Amino acid sequence: MSAVLQVNGLSKEFGAIQAVDNVSFELQKGELLALIGPNGAGKSTCFNMLMGQLKSSGGTVRLNGKDLKGLKPRQIWRLGVGRTFQITGTYASMTVIENVQMALISHHRKIYTLLPRAHLMYRDEALALLDLVGMADQSERHCAVLAYGDLKRLELAIALAHEPTLLLMDEPTAGMAPAERIALMQLTADIVESRGVSVLFTEHDMDVVFAHAHRVMVLNRGQLIANGSVDEIRNDERVREVYLGGGTLFKHDGESANA
Amino acid sequence: MGFFIAQILTGLANASALFMVASGLSLIFGVTRIVNFAHGSFYMLGAYVGYSFMQVLPGAWGFWTSILLAGLVVGIIGIVVEMLVLRPVYKAPELFQLVATFGVILVVQDLTLLIWGADDFLGPRAPGLKGIIRIMGEPVPKYDLALIALTPFVAFALWWLITKTRTGILVRAATQDREMVGALGVNQAWLFTGVFFLGCALAGLGGAVQLPKGGADLLMDFNILSAIFVVVVIGGMGSLPGAYVAAVLISVLNVFGVNYLPQSTLALMFVVMVVVLIFRPFGLFGREEVAGEHGQVGEPERPIKPAGQTARMIVMAGLVLLAFLPLIGDSFLLVLITDIAIFCLFAASLHFLLGLGGLVSFGHAAYFGGGAYAAALLVTYAGTPMELALILAPLAAGLTAIIFGWVCLRLTGVYFAMLTLAFAQLLWSLVFQWGDFTGGDDGLVDIWPSEWASGTTTFYYLALVLCIGGIIILRHTAHAPFGYALRGARDSARQAEATGINTKHVQWVAFGFAGAMAGIAGGLFVFSKGSIFPNELEIARSFDALIVVFLGGVKTLAGGVVGGAALEGAKDYITRFEYWRLLLGLLIIFVVIVAPDGIAGTLRKWAEKIGLMKREDQA
C-alpha cells in the first residue's frame, strides 16, 4: 500500500525560532492519524505548510507522489485535499446548503458561468453531503445563525464536496461540547471507513484522540518525539514527560512562542 | 541654485497647513476608524472663522490669537458633529459613517454660504511678516518662513501629546484595540469625542494659518480633500510622522510640478501615491490593516433569493407604467426618468461591487465618466455613430476598470478605497488638464444621438431598454455562480481560497464587469445631455453613487436601484430650493441615523412586520 501523504524533513523557522524542525511522516490510505502536542508545538504551522498557506523553510510534501512545493491552497485543494479550519470559515451571508453548493460549483469549475442560477445547482449532491454530516434538516437555514458545533459539521460537508482523498482537520472539535466532540469524530471515523479517505487531524482532547485515531504522532517544540499506535503513545515515557511535565517543558516555555 | 532652494522653501511652507489638516484626519481615523470625509469642511470653516476673528482682533497678537481661536471654535463644532451625527451611528456598518460625514459636508457648505455669503475672501496678511526676504537672490515671503518654523513645533507638540501623556497613551491604545481599552474602564465615548475635537481643531488651525497665502472660499473643502487623503495614505493611516513626511513630499513635488510639468500638477500627487502604495501597500509609516473576516459589523447579511411573486408583480407594474409613460407624461418628465434610469444603472453597478463583493470603490465615477468621455471623444474625433459609441463606451470603461482594478485589488479595506479614489482623481486630472484633447474645463459638446433616436420619446425608450437591461444583467449575475463566488470571497476569502476559488481573480473580473456597466450608463448620459464635462469624473460624482447605494441599502439586492431612483428624484425636487445642499445633507444624515438598513432594507423590514413578506429565521 502506497502512502497518500509523504512528508520529508519539513521545517519552518520564524527568525531564530525553529517552529517546525525536520518533521517526517507518512499517511496511509484510509488512515486516521492524529497529530498532538502541547501549545506552541508547531501543529498549526505544520498544517498551514501542508495546505500551502505558509511557505516551508525546507523539506518536501508529496501527495500521491506529487510534490506540493509552491502550490497555493486552491491548487492543493484541486489535487484532492480537503480541509477544515481551527476557526470556522463559512460564507455567513448564504444558507447552509448554498455553502456546500459553492464548493461543488467550484469543484465542477462553474465559477465563471453566468446563465444558471447558483442556488439550483448541484442541490442533490449538496443535500447528500449535508445528510452525511447530519445537517440535512438545517439545509435552508441562514449560515450566520448556526450554533458553533453545526458550523463545524457544515465545514466538514464543504471539505468533503470534491471527494478528497486526504482530509486535513485542524482542531476539528475545538470549542465544542464534550458530547459533540465524540459525535463529530465518530462521524469522521465513519467517513474514513466508508469512503476510504485519509485523515490527518490535530486535537487537544485526549479522549477524542485515543478513542478514534488509528495512529498518533506527538510534536514537541517543532520535533516529532513519538509516532505509534494509541497504546504505544499512552505508554511512551517522553510523551508523558511532555504532557505531565518532566520539568523541561515549563522551563523553556518562553522560547516556543508559536502556536 | 537659489531658485531651487526657494522652490523647496515654498513647498515646505505649503506643507504646513496640509500637515495640520492631514494629521487631524489621520488621528481621527486611527482612533475611531472613521474616514472623515467632512475634514475638508472643517478646514474651510477654520479659514472663515479665522478670517472673521482677524477682522475684529487687531495687530500681530490679534492675528495669531485669531488662528488659535479658529482652531478652538472648529474643534467645538467638531464635538457637536461627533455627538449629534456620529455617536448614533458608531454601531452601524463602518462605511455608513462615511455617508454621514458626507451629509455633514453638504450641511457645512450651505451654512457657510448662509453666514459668510458667496464672495471669496482675500486673507489678511500677517502683521509684521508682510515682506519678503531674499535668499540667494530669490524672494521668499517672510510668512512662508514663519510657517516652516511653526510646523515642526506643532508636529512636536502633537508627538509629545501622543507619546508622553496619559491621554496620548489611551489614544494609542485605542488605535490598537478599542474594545480592550473599553474593557479596561476607559470611557470610549469621551475618548472619541476628544480625538474628534483635536482632529477638527487641527483642521481649523490649518485653515486659518493658510489665510495669508490662500484666503477663504467655498471650494476649499473639496479642493483640499483629495490632497489630505493622498497625504494620509502615503504617510500611512494613523501615523503622524508619516503625515508630516508625506505632506512635505507632496507639497514640494507640487511646487516643482507647477514649474516643470504644468500640465500634470494634479495628476502628479496621485501618481506618487500609486507608486508608493505599490511598493509599500500600507503607506510609508503605516501598519497593515487587519480586516475582519466579514468586514462589516451589525446584523449579518441575509441570503439572497430570487424575487418573490409580489415583488415581481410590483416590478412588472412599474415597467408597464414606464412603457406607457410617453402617452401620459410631458417631455420634462421623460427627460427626468431618463436621467433617473441612467443613474440607477450607475448605482446598481457600484452596488454589485460594494454590496456583493464588499469592494468599496470610492472612485466609481471614473468608469461612468470614463465611458461618457470615451463615447464623446469617439464622436468628436472619429465621427463615430451613436450605436457604435454606445458599444465602445462600456468596453473602454471596462478596460479602464480592469487596469485600475489590477493595481487597486492588491490592497484591501480603506487602502483599497483610497486607491480607487486616487485612480479616479488621476483620470479626472488628466481630462481636466489635457485641454487640447479633452476640452478641459469646457468639456466636449455637440454629441447628439443618431437621427432615429434624437426624439425625446425615442431616446427615452432607448435609455430605458439599455438601463433596465443592464440592471437585469447585474441582478441575474448576482444569482449566478459568479455572483455567489464574489460574495463567498467577501464572506470568507480563506474558505473560498481553500475550496479552489481564486478570490482576487473573481474580484478583478467583477471590477471590470461593474466598470463596463457604469460605462453603459456614462455613454447614455453623454448622448442624453449632448455634452460632457470633467465634473462627471469628480469625487463628488463618485460620492453620489456611494450615497445612493448606502441610502438604498447595501445589504439588499435592490438597494442600488431604489436608492438611485429615490435620490435622483428627490434631488430634482430639492435643487429648486436655494439651500438645497443643506436640505439634502440633513436628509442624508437623517436616513443614516433613522434607517441604517437603507430605504430598501427598511421597507423590507416593514413589509415583514405587517406580514407582506415572509420572515426568515433570525439569530
Instruction: Say which residue, B65 or A256, is predicted with more confidence.
Output: B65
- For residues A75 and A56, membership in a common domain is answered with yes
Residue-wise pLDDT tens digits, B10-68? 889 889 989 999 999 988 888 787 888 899 999 999 999 999 999 999 888 999 999 99
**Domain boundary residue among A134, A162, A190?**
A162
B187 phi, psi to nearest 5 deg: -75, 100
Q: Which alpha helices (H) appear in chain A, and where do they start and end?
A: 43-50, 73-78, 96-107, 123-132, 148-159, 178-195, 206-212, 230-234, 237-244, 248-251
* A144 shares contact with chain B (CB less than 8 Å): yes
Residue A101 gets the label, from left (phi > 0), alpha (psi -120 to 50) or beta, of alpha
The alpha carbon of B163 is separated from its chain's Cα centroid by a whole number of angstroms, namely 31
Chain A residues closer than 8 Å to B616 by CB: 142
Residue B612 pLDDT class (50, 70, 90 cuts): low
* B479 shares contact with chain A (CB less than 8 Å): yes
Residue of B nearest to A100 (CA): B499
Instruction: Measure CB to CB from residue B487 to each of A94, A107, A145 and give the nearest one.
Output: A94
- Cβ of B617 within 8 Å of Cβ of A141? The answer is yes
Chain B residues closer than 8 Å to A85 by CB: 494-495, 498
Chain A residues closer than 8 Å to B487 by CB: 91, 93-94
- Cβ of B498 within 8 Å of Cβ of A102? The answer is no
- For residues A189 and A256, membership in a common domain is answered with yes
Residue-wise pLDDT tens digits, A127-137? 999 999 989 99
Cα separation of A51 and A35, whole Å?
15
CA nearest neighbour of B548 among B583, B582, B585, B598: B598
pLDDT the model gives residue A40: 83
Q: What is the mean pLDDT of chain A?
A: 87
Q: Is A254 exposed, middle or buried (0-12, 13-18, 19+ CB in 10 A)?
A: exposed
* A43 shares contact with chain B (CB less than 8 Å): no
Query: Partners of A32 in the beta sheet?
Result: A199
What 3 state SS string does B17-75 have? HHHHHHHHHHHHHHHHCCCCCCHHHHHHHHHHHHHHHHHHCCHHHHHHHHHHHHHHHHH
Q: Of A169-178, B40-49, B342-351, which gets the smallest average pLDDT?
A: A169-178
For residues A230-246, average pLDDT: 79
For residues A252-258, average pLDDT: 42
* A25 shares contact with chain B (CB less than 8 Å): no
Indicate if the pLDDT at residue B175 is higher than 80: no
For residues A151-179, average pLDDT: 90
- For residues A61 and A99, membership in a common domain is answered with no
Domain range for A138 is 88-162
Contact at 8 Å (CB) between A202 and A171? yes
Domain count, chain A: 2
Q: What is the pTM of this model?
A: 0.86
Residue B69 pLDDT class (50, 70, 90 cuts): very high
Tell me how close the Cα of A161 comes to any Cα of chain B, in angstroms: 9
For residues B312-332, average pLDDT: 87
Q: How many CB atoms lie within 10 A of CB B607?
A: 15
Residue B77 pLDDT class (50, 70, 90 cuts): very high
Residue B81 pLDDT class (50, 70, 90 cuts): very high
Instruction: Measure CB to CB from residue A77 to each of B303, B487, B499 and give the nearest one.
Output: B499
Q: Is A53 exposed, middle or buried (0-12, 13-18, 19+ CB in 10 A)?
A: middle
> Number of CB pairs < 8 Å for A and B?
122
Residue-wise pLDDT tens digits, B106-134? 999 999 999 999 899 988 888 888 888 88
In DSSP notation, A127-186 reads HHHHHHTT-GGGTTSBGGG--HHHHHHHHHHHHTTT--SEEEESSTTTT--HHHHHHHHH
Q: Which alpha helices (H) appear in B215-293, and where do they start and end?
A: 220-235, 240-260, 265-279
pLDDT the model gives residue B263: 67
Q: Of A103-112, B89-98, B528-537, which gets the smallest average pLDDT?
A: B89-98
Q: Is B423 exposed, middle or buried (0-12, 13-18, 19+ CB in 10 A)?
A: buried
Q: Which residues contact B405 (CB under 8 A, 6 or more apart)?
A: B507, B508, B511, B512, B515
Tell me how close the Cα of B240 comes to any Cα of chain A, in angstroms: 30
- For residues A71 and A173, membership in a common domain is answered with yes
Residue-wise pLDDT tens digits, A8-57? 999 999 888 888 999 999 999 999 999 998 888 888 899 889 988 889 99
Residue of A nearest to B503 (CA): A74
Determine the residue among A44, A75, A86, A91 to mutate to test chain B binding: the one whose Cβ has the most chain B Cβ atoms within 10 Å: A91
- For residues A174 and A228, membership in a common domain is answered with yes
* A126 shares contact with chain B (CB less than 8 Å): no
CATH of residue A56? 3.40.50.300
Instruction: Say which residue, B616 or A110, is predicted with more confidence.
Output: A110
* B358 shares contact with chain A (CB less than 8 Å): no
Residue-wise pLDDT tens digits, B413-451? 777 888 898 889 889 988 988 888 888 888 898 888 888
Residue B615 pLDDT class (50, 70, 90 cuts): low
- For residues A155 and A210, membership in a common domain is answered with no
- For residues A93 and A123, membership in a common domain is answered with yes
For residues B287-310, average pLDDT: 63
**Domain boundary residue among A162, A189, A205?**
A162
pLDDT the model gives residue B300: 65
- Cβ of A121 within 8 Å of Cβ of B498? The answer is no
Q: Of A83-87, B170-174, B324-328, which gets the smallest average pLDDT?
A: B170-174
For residues B177-203, average pLDDT: 87
Instruction: Say which residue, B588 or A141, is predicted with more confidence.
Output: A141
| DSSP structural state of residue A79 | T
pLDDT the model gives residue B495: 92
Q: Of B141-145, B404-408, B572-576, which gets the smallest average pLDDT?
A: B572-576
pLDDT the model gives residue B296: 43
Chain A residues closer than 8 Å to B509 by CB: 112
* B481 shares contact with chain A (CB less than 8 Å): yes
Residues in chain B: 619
pLDDT the model gives residue A247: 47
For residues B582-599, average pLDDT: 84
Indicate if the pLDDT at residue B589 is higher than 60: yes
**Domain boundary residue among A142, A162, A182?**
A162
* B172 shares contact with chain A (CB less than 8 Å): no
Examine the predicted complex and report whether its ipTM is higher than 0.95. no
* % of chain A with per-residue pLDDT over 90: 45
* A120 shares contact with chain B (CB less than 8 Å): no
Q: Domain B309-609 adopts which CATH fold? A: ABC transporter involved in vitamin B12 uptake, BtuC (1.10.3470)
Instruction: Measure CB to CB from residue B498 to each of A73, A114, A143 and give the nearest one.
Output: A73
* A163 shares contact with chain B (CB less than 8 Å): no
* A95 shares contact with chain B (CB less than 8 Å): yes
- For residues A133 and A17, membership in a common domain is answered with no
> Among the ranges A49-58, A99-108, B319-328, which has the highest mean pLDDT value?
A99-108
* A94 shares contact with chain B (CB less than 8 Å): yes
Residue-wise pLDDT tens digits, A22-31? 999 999 999 9
Chain A residues closer than 8 Å to B476 by CB: 114
Determine the residue among B297, B354, B484, B616 to mutate to test chain A binding: the one whose Cβ has the most chain A Cβ atoms within 10 Å: B484
Instruction: Measure CB to CB from residue A142 to each of B302, B485, B491 and give the nearest one.
Output: B302
- For residues A242 and A156, membership in a common domain is answered with no
In DSSP notation, B576-616 reads TSTTHHHHHHHHHHHHHHH-TTHHHHHHHHHHHHTTSSPPP
* % of chain B with per-residue pLDDT over 90: 36
- For residues A158 and A168, membership in a common domain is answered with no
Chain B residues closer than 8 Å to A114 by CB: 476-477, 480-482
Q: Is B382 exposed, middle or buried (0-12, 13-18, 19+ CB in 10 A)?
A: exposed
Chain A residues closer than 8 Å to B300 by CB: 92-93, 142, 144-145
Q: Is B172 exposed, middle or buried (0-12, 13-18, 19+ CB in 10 A)?
A: middle
Q: Where are the domains of chain B?
A: 2-220, 309-609
Chain B residues closer than 8 Å to A73 by CB: 497-498
pLDDT the model gives residue B182: 83
Residue-wise pLDDT tens digits, A194-213? 888 999 999 888 888 888 89
Instruction: Measure CB to CB from residue A103 to each of B476, B499, B617 and give the nearest one.
Output: B499
pLDDT the model gives residue B294: 32
The alpha carbon of B6 is separated from its chain's Cα centroid by a whole number of angstroms, namely 34
- Cβ of B492 within 8 Å of Cβ of A106? The answer is no
Contact at 8 Å (CB) between B425 and B539? yes
Instruction: Say which residue, B400 or B562, is predicted with more confidence.
Output: B400
Indicate if the pLDDT at residue B96 is higher than 80: no
Grid cell listed for B429: 486630472
For residues A114-126, average pLDDT: 92
Residue A259 pLDDT class (50, 70, 90 cuts): very low
Residue of A nearest to B303 (CA): A94
* B289 shares contact with chain A (CB less than 8 Å): no
- Cβ of B617 within 8 Å of Cβ of A161? The answer is no
- For residues A66 and A181, membership in a common domain is answered with yes
Grid cell listed for B343: 443613474
Residue of B nearest to A105 (CA): B481
- For residues A204 and A245, membership in a common domain is answered with yes
- Cβ of A106 within 8 Å of Cβ of B487? The answer is no
Cα separation of A158 and A108, whole Å?
14
Q: What angle do CA B40, B431, B253 make, to 5 degrees?
A: 55
Residue B285 pLDDT class (50, 70, 90 cuts): confident
Residue of A nearest to B358 (CA): A93
